[in-house]
């Protein structure tokens, strides 16, 4: 645990990424200086967490927008009082959770979001944690030969893969959905930190450009397994009023689906990013 200013206290939760930020009350206005400190911590740790911050939807959205512009999720309608906020829910009778596999958010868009902010409203008495993994650590651990091979490669990411894995919340039997696809570099350079990250994900990445899915499958399977090695990850246990802010440009996440028969209700905002380079 370290002090980074008059009030903020940073508590790393794992070696590769993730830190809790204490000493700030988000229910009160925070200064530009405090926000700049939070952003610096976020860029260092890729995902940051706040405890006991029960922000109403409009205030939650307003806090998120201090970091960037909102981008609307293409498949779900937002809240009436805050249209940019969507509900991520799994109810007692449901068996499939939203986004329940390792992925980065909406990599099938030409310009994927920079970041995602999630707040817990209702959580099960056990389970429902979220795992995060560092794209930086995954890249750094690759051999020099593998880095050279991957550097020029680009990959096709598709929303159809999320349909096949049954992890889209808007999924309904017999209902056709628009398929969105985008081409991105396999190795992405972060526009703010300058660090390189492995930028493929099992939720959306179909194949390499100019290769078939069959030709791509072996190497992609290796990369998907490599990027979620335990030493590259952290795990966060939610409580009502907990907030997570993760950097979608360099971190994957996976909500654990281990609470069948219980309710989990979250609110989410995504923030506009840049075209991966």
Given the residues 103, 168, 249, 267, the one annotated as active site:
103
103 carries an active-site annotation: yes
258 carries an active-site annotation: no
Q: 264 with 128: CB under 8 angstroms?
A: yes
Distances (CA, A) of 138 to 41, 43, 78, 228, 232: 20, 17, 34, 8, 7
Which structure tokens are listed for 226? 């490599």
DSSP 145: H
204 carries an active-site annotation: no
166 carries an active-site annotation: no
CA–CA separation, 112 vs 71, rounded Å? 9
CA–CA separation, 66 vs 108, rounded Å? 25
Given the residues 190, 204, 249, 253, the one annotated as active site:
253
Given the residues 121, 184, 207, 268, the one annotated as active site:
268
Distances (CA, A) of 67 to 53, 120, 248, 260: 17, 19, 13, 34
Given the residues 105, 188, 207, 247, the one annotated as active site:
105
Helices (H) and strands (E) in the chain, counts: 6, 17
CA–CA separation, 42 vs 253, rounded Å? 15
Q: Dihedrals φ, ψ of 249, to 5°?
A: -85, -15
DSSP 52-69: S----HHHHHHHHTTTS-
Return the active site residues. 103, 105, 253, 268
């Amino acid at each position: 645990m370290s002090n980074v200013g008059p009030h903020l206290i940073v508590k790393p939760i794992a070696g590769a990424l993730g830190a809790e930020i204490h000493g700030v009350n988000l229910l009160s206005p925070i200064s530009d200086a405090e926000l700049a400190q939070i952003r610096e911590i976020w860029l260092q740790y890729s995902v940051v967490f706040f405890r006991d911050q029960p922000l109403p939807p409009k205030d939650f959205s307003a806090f998120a927008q201090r970091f960037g512009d909102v981008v609307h999720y293409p498949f779900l309608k937002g809240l009436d009082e805050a249209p940019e906020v969507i509900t991520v829910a799994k109810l007692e009778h449901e068996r499939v959770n939203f986004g329940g596999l390792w992925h980065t958010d909406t990599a099938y868009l030409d310009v994927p979001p920079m970041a995602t902010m999630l707040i817990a409203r209702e959580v099960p008495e056990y389970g429902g944690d979220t795992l995060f993994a560092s794209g930086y650590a995954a890249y750094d651990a690759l051999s020099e030969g593998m880095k050279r091979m991957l550097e020029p490669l680009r990959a096709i990411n598709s929303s159809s893969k999320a349909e096949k894995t049954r992890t889209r919340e808007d999924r309904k039997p017999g209902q056709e959905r628009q398929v969105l696809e985008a081409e991105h570099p396999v190795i992405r350079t972060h526009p703010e930190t300058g660090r390189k990250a492995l930028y493929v994900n099992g939720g959306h990445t179909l194949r390499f450009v100019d290769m078939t899915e069959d030709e791509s499958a072996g190497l992609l399977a290796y990369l998907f397994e490599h990027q979620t090695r335990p030493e590259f990850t952290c795990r966060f246990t939610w409580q009502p009023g907990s907030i997570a802010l993760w950097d979608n440009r360099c971190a994957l996440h996976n909500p654990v689906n281990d609470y069948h028969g219980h309710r989990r209700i979250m609110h989410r905002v995504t923030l506009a990013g840049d075209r991966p380079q």
